[in-house]
Structure formats: C-alpha cells, structure tokens
Amino acid sequence: MQSASPPWNTTTKAIVAVSALALFCLLVWVFRGLLQQVVLAAILAYLLHPLITFIDRRTPVNRVTVVLAFYLALALIVVALFSMVGVTTFQQVLDLSRRLPDWFEEALDQLQVLREQLPESITVGGFAVPVASLLPQLPGWDQLFSQVFGLLQPILGRGGSLAASVVTGTVAVLGQIVLIFIISIYIAVDIPRIGSMIANIAHKPGFRRDAERLTSNVSQVWAAYMRGQALLAIIIFVMVSAVLGILGVDNALGLGLLSGAMEFLPVIGPLAGAGAAILVALFQSSPGFGLDPLQFALVVAVAMIVIQQIENTLLVPRIVGKALNLHPLLVMVSVVMGASLAGLLGAILAAPVVASIRILGEYAWHKMLDLPPFPDDEESQEKDMQRNDPSEEEPAPPLDGNVYPLSFQPVFKDYIWGGRNLETILGRELPPGTIAESWEIAAHANGQSKVATGPLQGSTLAEVQQQWGRHLLGSSVDSDTFPLLIKVLDSNSWLSVQVHPDDPYAMEHAGDLGKTELWIILHAEPDAEIIYGLKAGVNRERFARSAATGAIDSMLHRIPIRTGDAVYLPAGTVHALGPGAIIAEIQQNSDTTYRLYDWGRTEADGQSRPLHVRQALDVIDWRMVEPAVAAPPILAAPAGWVREALADLRAIGGPAAGNLYTDGDSETACPYFQVDRLTGQAGAVWQGSCDGSSFNIWGCISGSASLHCDGETFELREVSWLLLPAALGAYEVHAETQCVLLKII
C-alpha cells in the first residue's frame, strides 16, 4: 500500500500559488492574440446556452450531440441568410465605413460655417448679449466632434475591415470564424459544470454558499446584458432598416446593421448609430419627399429619436431591465476606457465587467466591515431567522396543485469496478461501457438527475428545488441543498476499502456533507461478501502501522451477504462492497470518500487511484468492531403490511451493537433519514400524507405498486423511485402484486 502524502507547509503553498499566477499571466500574454477569439466564442456559447439547454432537457440524446447539432444548424442558417441578404448588407456597411470619415469632416466644416453665420448679439430679456463673449466659454465644437469621431473611428474601421474581409471571403477571417465556432462548441458543452467548478474552489460550506451566490449574481448580470443586448440589436436592426428604407435613406440596411451592432456600446452606441443615419441623410445626393438636405436630415433625426424613445421606454425595461445597476455616466466612462484599452471588444464588454466588479467589490466591502455580505437577500434572512427560532417554522402550504410526484432519469457512473448487471439482471437500458453506479435521485455537484415526466421534464433536481423551495423539501428540512442521494450499485470487483467522514469533519476539510448510508442488497451471488467494520483488538496505532505497509486485510471484518439484507453504515464505518452484488444505497447528499486500500489497481492511464490514509485515520469509528446484520425492528403498520425500520442502530448486531448504544440510554434512529421497508400483500393500501413538513421518497424493490394522488396514478415498478414533494398532500400506495417497498423520509 502507498504511504499517505505529506501536507505542504505554508511556504510551499505560497510559492506554488505565486508561480501558478505568474505562469497564468505569462500564458495570457503569450497567447493574447487568441484572447479575442476565446472571448467571442464564450459570448456565443453563453448567448446560445438557454436554447441548447431547452432542447437538451426535452430530448433523450446527450448534451454533446445536442450542441453539435445546434451549431451545425446555426451554421447552415447563417450561410443561408448571408447568401440572401448578407452580401448586400455588408457591402453597404463597407461603403459607410469608407464614406463616414469624409462626411464627418464635411459636417465639421458646415458647423464652422454655421458659427460664422451667427448674429453679432442675442437679445435675452431686453439685454443684448454679444455672441463673441459666449463662444469662447463653450467647448470647441470642432474639437468635440473630432474627439467623438476619434473614439468611433477605430470601431467603424474595424467593422469595415471585417465586413470587407467577409465579403471578399478572406481565408484568414473565415479561419477565425471556424476557430471561434470550434472553441464555442467546447465551451457550450461544459457550461453547466462551470458554476459548480467555481463554487468547488471554496471548501468551507459558508464560503461555498457565498461563491454560489456571487456566481449566480454575476451570471445574472451577464445573461441579462449579453442576451438582452443581442435581442435589442436584432430589433433595432429591423426597426432602423425598415424606417430608413421607408424614408428613402441610402444604405438603409447598412445603417440598420450599424445601429444594431452599436447596441452593444451602451449610451454611446445608439447616439453613434443615430448620428451616422443623420449624416447619410444630410449628404444624400437626392433627399426624399422633395426636401432639402437639412430638412431631410431633421426628419431622419426625428425618426431616430422616436426609435430611441421606444427602445428606452418600452424595450430596454422589458428585455434588459436593471441588470447592470450602474449610473449612465459610469457606463459611458467604462465604454470609453474599455475602447482605449482593448478596442472594440473592450468597449462591448466594459459595462458588464464593471457591473461584475461592483458585485464583487460590494461583497468584499461588506465582509471587511463584518456586515452581511448580501443584505438584500430577504429570503436568506428569513431562513436564518427560522433556523434560530424553530417555533416560527410552519408547514409549507400547498401550491394549488402545481407540485406532483417526480420520477427521474438516472446519472450513470463508469468506475473500474462496475459491469453490465444493471442491464442483464435488472433490465435497465445502459449506455456503452462499464457502469458501476446509477444515481437515481441526485442533486450533487458531481451528478444531477433530471425529471423524467410532467411539466418539469428535463429540469434537474436542483432546479426543481430552486423553483419549489420549501414546497419540495418541507419546513423541517434544514438544508440549502437536497439532503439525500439515492444510488444503485453494480459491483463486479471489490470496491476500495474506504470510510466516510461525519458532517463536522467533511465540512471543514471537503466543503461537503458527511456520509452515513444504508445498503439494501437487491441481488447477491452465493459467495458475495462485504467488509463491514474492524476485527476485535484493532486500534488506531496498530491500524496506522499496518496501513503504512498495505497489510490491513487481517484487520478487516468480512461478512457474507444475501438478497434482502439491509446494511446500516454510520459515518466512520470501514467498509467495502465485494463482487457479485447489486445494491440500492440511501445516503446523505455527499461524494466524500477516503480510500484506505484499492487492491493495487490502476486506472486506464496506468496511474493508481489516490489513497487518503491520513484523513481516514482521523474519521474511523473504532467502535465498529465485528458488526453483524441483525433483524431490523418491526414497527406498527396497517393491515396487509409489514414495516421494518432499517436505518437504525438496532439493525446492527455483533460486538459493535454494545459499543454503539445501550438500550434506553441513547437515540437509535439515523439522524439523517428514516427508511422503512414495507412488505405488502397484493391489494394492500397504504394511506400517507405529505403535510408540508418533509418530502417522501418511495422506492419499489420487488413486485409492483402504484401511487395515487389528485386523481392521477403513478407506477412503481421494480427498482424505481418517486419523490413526493412536501406540499403534495394526501396520497395512497396500492400493492398491485406482493411487493417490497421503501419509504424514505
């Protein structure tokens, strides 16, 4: 066995952190030429994420296939649209980019002429004020317009060169577009995992919740801004092109495209788009409606003002809302700064970047002053008050029939000890490869099961919880996440010898819950066995010496298992599942495991799986000495049913039983979940109710049953599960045949 890896000291950690930061900055600098393509790819993936997710939830294929199909369809649509109207539009943009500088210069000359034609004095309230005394106090109009044009010239120039390249089919530009598409595909596939990856950086539960909240707030800013601006750009493109086309302005499509693109530049962009339209009208060779150029320009100006008023009063509040929560002056300054630092891309991204910095800055400011980091989170404050005063908690009221029993599509895991028995023995449809675990009901960062039927089909359990809140979990469940995880395991070889921590240790060292679990043996070969606890006489010192050399087998307690056994494993129990077994596992919502021994196996890459001997020694419960599977306590039940309490210390026999509790002196029930095994005769009816205090989970181990509520029937077939929301109300479970069910609270 490998020895435990020693921890790094503070100096080593600091050196590695600084070196990693320096290497990251160096890589960004070296590959800065690709940064723009990566950012554009990320923006494209982010804009398309809601549509991809919508399709992914409603189709049986995996996300990778959905993304590839979506991007292929998008590429075909873009090519089709470009072949119809794209060339004309881009040619007009190219023409505008070439002519606008001359028009700006000519406009400056016209302003100078206008200035010279002003009267010598202006009469105000009976007093004659010389114009010459006023003009020196005003900013130079020519300088003002020159500065504005200086800001917009790089943007227009870049847009014009891009349009020219696309129109002429430049190989380099087409290559960049293909590269952006490829990078965007990879990002689109992994977007659902990015949020959890960021949150996983924070290990302590409190900081993890802060990270999740900050990620959510920043994501909302970018989602509202980018998707809102994209939708506004399309709408403004259509409106401006249509209005200017009706007025007879030259290059109406190009001006529409320019105005739409300028929507990504807050405050400045719409003004620039309107100014370009007015300039084109002012210098148009043949103004419409028999007007002179100045009158025609004024008509176009009024039309653009009306469009901007419609945008600001009707479209922006409904599409973008107050996503940025920034003062318009700060937005304008950030756009100018972004343009000066990073050109067009910097100007586009300046506003959401500043808004994100504001969110992070407010969080840091509140933390430094020891204030609540999210003072506007009334819901969190309400939950905190409820935790501090349990008497204030009330059952969740019904949701007027909106909640319903949920069944889920499982998440499959392909660990090296798995096989295909979930298919050959249980009749499951499996993806190719070795399948070790099926996460039946899961809301963990490492696996999210999706609703299989009903209005919420395709939603993850975490998303359902976010929508239903206490109506799903119940008022007595004090947790920000779904507290349980239901699995089915297929062991074709020994699992690692392992142990799970309790809540305090797991939260401090892994940022996760502890892991107490219960195994229900669904199938066992005649020689199937498990490692369950330690042999008599084993203590920490002796075990640590043996673990250092890998010679722990003689200290492990093995027992045979058979179909129907229930094995209760409190946190701290050394255990391993042997080959030839299929089990259902009810556990806390945790994926924290400390391996002691892994039978000398290697992964496909030839590397050994890591061991965690030091952590395991910290969390082993040395009282679990030679435990046995005892007959679980029998509880009262309606006619036709036999009810057994499985998650109970009284279901642990052998020497460990006397170590763990003394009858009458301590609580025997599992503090994390209650599992009743119900054996029902055909035709038996179980009447239950979800009264708002807690959700229920019903599982069918053998036979068949059905659940009835609100006039609807839900099947419970062999090895299937239903999650009943806390606000569901009354229900009945009918045993269609002789069956064995699990009721989990």
Active site residues: 595
One-letter amino acid at 387 equals R
Query: Which is nearest to 439 in space by CA: 205, 721, 243, 643?
Result: 721
What does the DSSP 8-state code read for residue 445?
Answer: T
Residues contacting 552, CB < 8 A, separation 6+: 1, 497, 543, 546, 596, 597
Neighbours of 78 (CB within 10 A): 13
Q: How far apart are CA 323 and CA 118, in angstroms?
A: 45
**SS3 sequence, 571-593?**
CCCCEEECCCEEEEEEEECCCCC
Residue pair 676/724 in contact (Cβ under 8 Å)? The answer is no
For 46, how many CA atoms within 13 A lie in the half-sphere containing its CB? 20
d(CA 491, CA 438): 12
Element housing 443 (H / E): strand 443-444
**What are the start-end ranges of the H helices in 389-469?**
421-424, 461-468
Cβ neighbors of 412 (< 8 A, separation 6 or more) are 430, 431, 435, 437, 438, 439
Distance, CA of 205 to CA of 207 (rounded, Å): 6
Tokens read off for 281: 């009208």
Classify the C-alpha dihedral 56-61-64-65 as positive or negative.
Answer: negative
Distance CA 469, CA 522 (A): 33
User: How does strand 594-597 pair with strand 121-124?
Assistant: unpaired
| Residues facing residue 447 across a β-bridge | 444
- The torsion angles phi and psi of 471, rounded to 5 degrees, stand at -65, -20
Q: HSE of 143 in the Cβ direction (CA atoms, 13 Å)?
A: 4
